[in-house]
């Protein structure tokens, strides 16, 4: 359909549009016009991606600035989905307009996923693929080939140099499969084709790390212009991505390998001195003159990019004491030996980067400044020595990254040296964490550089926490309700077992046999009544293993087997993949299965359990983080002191966003249905921190197991009955309207304009929300009771409200 938002013509590739999609598009347009940032929460399964792409592509085509869209998502599957939606949208636009627009949309992923080289693509490790790729495509390898030397090169990469830089790919939308197919057909590298074409694209879809991790962003995203529109989709975990991009861990094993790497460097330097000393002299001269190695012509084959943010790069020459290659190799070895001596302690050390640098200087006389240049100097040396087997130098690269980071940053970072893996361990296995505590540091250049940044997800409540943690201001924050034809999901909170004993996964009660038995009884009862798939989430692997073991001893698993197959997620990716495959097969061909997972694991973050794959989701306990973690304690202290976020507020927020993410896995569209069970008494106090579209549907928040099972039976019985427009089921459910055709949308817009003409601008959004609330009410078959009234009182009638006011 084609409709207008103010003066903007929008082509939407479906015949009907959800009210929340239209509201989402209106708010996106307001954000783009205001030139600021926003946080938007759109319910799961309501077409968030296509709404966003339709509005922004329409905006690009209508306004002469033609701002580029950078769409960032978390997983490969989400990137593939976004590219497929974009392809569908552009096909629809071509059909409606009668011509193909000059438009390029590209996805970018790692070399491992796009490589065509016969021997390199067989490698299983991404790091090895990257290293082997660089050894075939580096500038010095091509120079040797041109001189007639016998060296192996990548023909797919070399063919790109024969093409015009702006025309490596024709106009159109290329999914990752399309890129590979085009590369195979034209014998050109898909990975470098996509990277080099980014400047000429209208839409780029890739992972968060390409924008947030300075080691990657320096190579891939630095050419992007300031007027780009940046979208972080599925952004509920964006703060963790920011922190991980500036954190690094070192172990004794990695230091041993780094020492070997530094020794190999010294040997290679000696060999080059004997065979071609002029190259080392040339490099030295460049460093004296302050010529940066990060020049664009050679950025593609750089061994490593600088791990610091662009504004923190030193714009000056490399210090004299590490300019000579042999001096730098000796410098690295001395620094590694210092780190090894620090690892020998048998107690925990926690210190700031400044304290660490003081101690380092006192013992070794190593100054801060040469440390800051370690990453850059190592990249230069690896290139000068023309090293090809660079995967052997990966541990040395980690040490250089650590050196550069620790010497660059002071505030918002902490060094923590833990001599033992666990509190109970007897044999030392030390690990040195350089932990970033401030998520705002990594994302700050993004907010400063790009005029509009949109942070969006299906589960991003409470909205105001993200601007606080990431230290930015918004022009808009909005959470949309979900309009439904009928109540298609049933969220509930179970606080008691059938014996009325409270259930919780809190540390004091988690091993209580009564609590464990009640959790087992809850699973058994839902296994009996749930059709097809049942997904269960636990707070941690440790707790899941403990509770499964206790259920086995109590005979609960033997009771469940006749009803469902039981499968378990493990930390091993291959085992989990096999378990998922078996689970899906059981849901398709058998009586269904139960998948036991972890709330912060891969399944909770990246796997959708749509339709028969997830008819019930059980959260067995609130997924709070392990509060004894020293890194978490340091971060909590930092948040309290710098952003006024209390420890308990952050922990609750973090637990509830992961719980909401688990619940959202089973509802992947408006034609989907499922039961959502939060089984822990602590959820009762924190339900307001759930996304609005889930929290508004929770009518019961203190159920026993029996009551929850009874409500679920009724729900499954009701949802199984077909319902036509205007029909009413025995329980009072009627079929409402959850979408508009073009005529209905235009009618709604006329109503909006009438309110606008009356000067009631605030009423514009209220009209939308009133409609959507009424759609939900029609779906529930209620009369509006329990909705928020004009005083903001949820479920309080007028008499109660008057009594409360009198008592005040």
- Here the CATH number for the domain that contains residue 638 is 3.40.50.300
pLDDT tens by residue, 484-501 = 777 888 999 999 988 889
Is 261 a member of any domain?
Answer: yes
Tell whether 407 and 497 lie within a shared domain: no
Q: pLDDT confidence of 475, banded at 50, 70, 90?
A: very high
Residue matched to tokens 């399309």: 178
Tell whether 374 and 511 lie within a shared domain: no
pLDDT tens by residue, 709-757 = 999 999 988 887 776 555 555 455 445 567 888 998 989 988 888 876 6
User: How many domains, in total, are found in the chain?
Assistant: 2
Tell whether 313 and 406 lie within a shared domain: yes
pLDDT reported for residue 804: 35
pLDDT tens by residue, 376-428 = 888 888 888 888 777 888 899 999 999 999 999 989 999 999 888 766 667 88
Is 9 a member of any domain?
Answer: no
Last residue of a domain, one of 361, 385, 412: 412
Tell whether 350 and 499 lie within a shared domain: no
The closest alpha carbon to 174, from 303, 87, 291, 245, belongs to 87
pLDDT reported for residue 202: 92
Is 355 a member of any domain?
Answer: yes
Last residue of a domain, one of 718, 749, 781: 718
Tell whether 598 and 683 lie within a shared domain: yes
Tell whether 255 and 401 lie within a shared domain: yes
Tell whether 620 and 506 lie within a shared domain: yes
pLDDT reported for residue 785: 35
Is 400 a member of any domain?
Answer: yes
pLDDT tens by residue, 671-698 = 888 899 999 999 888 888 888 888 888 8
DSSP 474-488: -SEEEE-----SS--
- Strands (DSSP E) along 234-331, which ranges? 248-251
Is 44 a member of any domain?
Answer: no
Q: pLDDT confidence of 291, banded at 50, 70, 90?
A: low
| Alpha carbon distances (Å) from 461 to 41, 112, 363, 410, 414 | 7, 35, 49, 31, 28
pLDDT tens by residue, 344-383 = 888 889 999 999 999 999 998 888 888 988 888 888 888 8
Averaged pLDDT score across all residues of the chain: 84
Is 635 a member of any domain?
Answer: yes
Tell whether 660 and 566 lie within a shared domain: yes
Is 494 a member of any domain?
Answer: yes
Domain span at residue 497 reads 489-718
Cα separation, 304 vs 219, whole angstroms: 9
How many whole angstroms from its chain centre is CA 214? 16
Q: What is the mean pLDDT of residues 658-663?
A: 89
pLDDT tens by residue, 298-343 = 445 555 666 776 666 656 667 777 888 889 899 999 999 999 999 8
Tell whether 385 and 520 lie within a shared domain: no
Residue matched to tokens 């380092």: 360
In the 8-state DSSP scheme, what is residue 741?
-
SS3 of residue 59 by DSSP:
helix
Q: What is the mean pLDDT of residues 560-577?
A: 90
Last residue of a domain, one of 664, 689, 718: 718
| Alpha carbon distances (Å) from 248 to 243, 244, 568 | 10, 8, 30
Tokens describing residue 452: 């509009």
User: Residue 783 pLDDT > 50, yes or no?
Assistant: no
User: Residue 188 pLDDT > 50, yes or no?
Assistant: yes
Is 714 a member of any domain?
Answer: yes
Structural contact between residues 72 and 230, judged by C-beta atoms closer than 8 angstroms = yes
The pTM for the full model equals 0.86
Tell whether 263 and 369 lie within a shared domain: yes
Structural contact between residues 623 and 537, judged by C-beta atoms closer than 8 angstroms = yes
């Amino acid at each position: 359909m084609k409709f207008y938002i103010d003066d903007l013509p929008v082509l939407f590739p479906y015949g009907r549009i959800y009210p929340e999609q239209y509201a989402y598009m209106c708010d996106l347009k307001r954000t783009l016009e205001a030139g600021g940032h926003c946080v938007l929460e759109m319910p799961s399964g309501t077409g968030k991606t296509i709404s966003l792409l339709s509005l922004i592509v329409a905006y690009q085509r209508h306004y002469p600035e033609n701002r580029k869209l950078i769409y960032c998502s978390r997983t490969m599957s989400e990137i593939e989905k976004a590219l497929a939606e974009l392809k569908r949208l552009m096909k629809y636009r071509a059909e409606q307009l009668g011509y193909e627009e000059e438009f390029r949309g590209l996805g970018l992923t790692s070399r491992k996923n796009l490589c065509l080289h016969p021997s390199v693509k067989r490698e299983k490790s991404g790091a090895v693929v990257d290293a082997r790729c660089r050894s075939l495509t580096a500038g010095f390898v091509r120079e040797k080939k041109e001189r007639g030397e016998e060296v192996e090169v990548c023909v797919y990469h070399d063919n790109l140099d024969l093409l015009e830089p702006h025309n490596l790919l024709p106009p159109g939308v290329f999914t990752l499969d399309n890129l590979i197919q085009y590369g195979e057909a034209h014998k050109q590298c898909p990975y470098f084709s996509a990277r080099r074409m980014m400047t000429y694209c209208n839409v780029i879809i890739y992972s968060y790390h390409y924008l947030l991790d300075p080691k990657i962003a320096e190579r891939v995203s630095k050419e992007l212009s300031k007027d780009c529109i940046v979208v972080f989709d599925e952004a509920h975990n964006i703060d963790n991505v920011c922190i991980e991009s500036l954190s690094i861990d070192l172990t004794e094993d990695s230091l041993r390998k780094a020492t070997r790497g530094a020794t190999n460097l010294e040997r290679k330097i000696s060999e080059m001195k004997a065979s071609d000393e002029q190259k080392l002299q040339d490099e030295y001269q460049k460093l004296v003159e302050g010529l940066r190695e990060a020049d664009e012509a050679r950025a593609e084959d750089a061994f490593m990019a600088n791990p610091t943010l662009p504004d923190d790069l030193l714009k000056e020459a490399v210090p004299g004491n590490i300019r000579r290659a042999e001096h730098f190799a000796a410098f690295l070895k001395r620094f590694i030996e210092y780190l090894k001596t620090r690892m020998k302690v048998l107690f925990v050390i926690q210190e700031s980067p400044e304290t660490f640098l003081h101690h380092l200087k006192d013992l070794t006389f190593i100054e801060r400044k040469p440390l800051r240049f370690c990453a850059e100097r190592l990249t230069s040396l690896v290139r000068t020595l023309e090293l090809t087997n660079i995967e052997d130098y990966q541990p040395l690269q980690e040490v250089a990254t650590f050196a550069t980071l620790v010497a660059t940053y002071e505030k918002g970072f902490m060094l923590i040296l833990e001599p033992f893996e666990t509190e109970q361990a007897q044999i030392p296995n030390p690990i040195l964490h350089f932990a970033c505590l401030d998520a705002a540091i990594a994302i700050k250049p993004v907010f400063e550089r790009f005029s509009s940044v949109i942070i969006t997800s299906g589960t991003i409540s409470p909205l105001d926490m993200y601007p606080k943690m990431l230290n930015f201001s918004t022009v808009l924050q909005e959470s949309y309700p979900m309009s439904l034809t009928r109540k298609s999901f049933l969220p509930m909170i179970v606080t008691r077992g059938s014996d009325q004993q409270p259930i919780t996964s809190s540390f004091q009660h988690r091993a209580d046999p009564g609590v464990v038995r009640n959790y087992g009884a809850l699973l058994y009862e839902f296994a009996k009544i749930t059709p097809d798939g049942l997904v269960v989430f636990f707070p941690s692997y440790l707790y899941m293993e403990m509770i499964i073991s206790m259920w086995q001893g109590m005979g609960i698993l033997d009771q469940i087997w006749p009803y469902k197959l039981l499968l378990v997620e493990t930390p091993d990716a291959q085992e989990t993949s096999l378990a998922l495959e078996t689970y899906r097969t059981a849901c398709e061909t058998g009586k269904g299965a139960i998948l036991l997972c972890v709330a912060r694991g891969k399944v909770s973050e990246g796997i959708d359990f749509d339709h028969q794959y997830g008819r019930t989701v059980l959260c067995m306990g609130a997924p709070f983080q392990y509060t004894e973690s020293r890194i978490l304690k340091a971060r909590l202290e930092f948040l309290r002191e710098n952003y006024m976020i209390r420890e308990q507020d952050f922990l609750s927020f973090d637990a509830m966003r992961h719980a909401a993410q688990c619940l959202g896995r089973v509802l992947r569209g408006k034609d989907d249905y499922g039961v959502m069970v939060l089984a822990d008494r602590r959820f009762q106090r924190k339900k307001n921190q759930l996304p609005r579209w889930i929290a508004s549907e929770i009518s019961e928040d203190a159920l026993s197991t029996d009551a929850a099972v009874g409500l679920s039976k009724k729900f499954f019985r009701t949802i199984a009955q077909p319902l036509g427009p205007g029909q009413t089921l025995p329980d009072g459910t009627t079929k409402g309207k959850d979408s508009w055709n073009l005529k209905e949308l235009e009618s709604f817009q006329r109503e909006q304009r009438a309110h606008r003409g009356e000067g009631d601008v605030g009423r514009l959004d209220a009209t939308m929300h009133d409609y959507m609330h009424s759609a939900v009410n029609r779906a529930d078959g209620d009369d509006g009771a329990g909705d928020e009234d004009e005083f903001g009182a949820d479920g309080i009638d007028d008499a109660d409200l008057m009594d409360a006011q009198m008592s005040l």
